[in-house]
A and B are shown apart, each in its own frame.
Chain A
Amino acid sequence: MIQINNLWKRYGDTSVLERINAEVKEGEFITLVGTSGCGKSTFLKLLLGTEQQSQGELLLDGKPIPAEPDRHRGIVFQQYSVFPHLSVLKNVMAARAFAEGRISALLLGRRRREARAEAEALLESVGLSHVLESYPHQLSGGMRQRLAIAQALVLKPRILLLDEPFGALDPGIRGDMHELILNLWHQQQLTVFMVTHDLKEGFYLGTRLWVFDKIRHDPQAPQAFGATITYDIPVGRTERKIYEEIDNQLRPVAAV
């Protein structure tokens, strides 16, 4: 589905990503790990369309991926991805309203009732049916992320991008969220890209793990070379030794 050929991303003189080659099939769940500033979030932005590559190709079904966000690629950020001025229910209905309303985001009559029923069903599946009328600021961090996930899935995108979605949550709540996201991935046959700084999360959740790291270093100009994919591992058949190797590599950051 997605084909990446010799992809580079530079900001001025600073290289962030270099020589990335990969192929992703429909339905894969890829977790992206790496030290902070290694470009994994930048890679996600390229997939999302808010940033464009400097060189190389990023193809979706053989065509260049659209250069601005659209409804086929859902996103959940670590924070700020729900609308604070709308209730939980309206946040989810907004997706339908945007997609169907022509000029304004208003839905009326039958279409409004349908959107409401759809939103209620989706919110039920993420366990938020008891807070339909609450505003986001009244929710806990975990509930807000559930809402963001529900909102991202209303329009049934093919690709779901997750940018450290559980980074700010307590470990106990993270477990619940992992279960939720795995269920939704199975049900909706999504292709998922998830950035995380938690290596365990990366191994537990994905079908495939990418590690981003710099392999070339110039001590005179640390910004001259970008990161690339140093490990591309099908998860589930991982040897203990490789896990430890990557874990050691990331440890200084994970401890921060």
Chain B
Amino acid sequence: MSRYFYYLVILNMLANVVALVPSILIEGRLNGTVSSLMIAIVITLIYCFVFTNSMLKFPGKGQPEIIKAYMPQWFSTVYLFLLGVLYFFSTWFVLLSFIDITKRFINPELPTLYITILFLAIICPGALMGTEKTLYALEIVLIISLPLIIGIFLKAYINEHLNWDAIRIVFTHSFDAPSIDMIGAASYSLLGFYYISIYNRVLKHRLKRLGLWRLVLIGIAGVVNIFTSLLIPIGVNGVDGAGHYIYPWFSTADTMRIEFGFIERVLFIFLLLYIGISMISATITCHIGLEHVKSIFPEIKWKEIKIIPLIVVTLFSLGSILGYFLLSQIQVYELAKVFFTLLLFAGAFSCAVLLYVVRRSKQK
């Protein structure tokens, strides 16, 4: 079993624990969050099982090749393009929230344009790298930050000022009606398995089949992750007060202290770790989006440089810069809700497409 597959799943869990997903979950904390979370996890695990195992039937092949081989041309062009756009959107959300976080918590005097360009300068060349190389970058980032992040999560749980009564109040609303916004947001943090659609190219023969036990393990990690991201801010900031924060997790990190650490305020360590996680997550989603979009265009070379990826990345960069200036924080938040919900249906559709492809490949 390849560890890289788990890296991708874990990366997506961690990357979405801080910015938009917890805000959406905390907003509905007294309206059936728990039931929404459970539904989201079940749905996503089914998607994960179907999607991953279908992809693994084609060792060494990415989704674009598979779709192109078994589907009519018009369908594969439209389908792959839309998928690419979705991946770019998720990059864009990570980027946007991190630009905002940088501006709010690190340096408010830094002009937004510079921050955007700085981040894009890391993400875009990263996305243009080879598929295998992005995986190595991911491994380095995770090895450095994962133990520290787990440490911070544990520290949050053993904080004596954590109010368990406030957390219990959330559970008294377990059986309230779930809402589709929250299901979408909660499932988003578990969608890391989709990354296999491109990374299957380099995972060949390392990964045979995703068994039920491994699925259960992923499910447990997902449950722990999403509940941590929902409950710790509520325990620290109060069940009535948690909703007031724009970035609940950064405000929560600021309430932790390591008296005898080198830096007393955990916030700064947390920010540093999450810049790394967000950057690599944005790079990988951008890379996948790029590969999808690239596959529908013929290869054009100019002085031996493949020009299509460059054009796509430039367009994406321009789009992100414009997006930041055109949309307000609240509009982004509402857009994210729609996007997460849309992904729920997109997931069902793409699983169906893949199942169909698997059937056709057997017939041939």
A binds B: no
Chain B residues close to A by CB (< 8 Å) = none
Which residues of A come within 8 Å of B, CB atoms? Answer: none
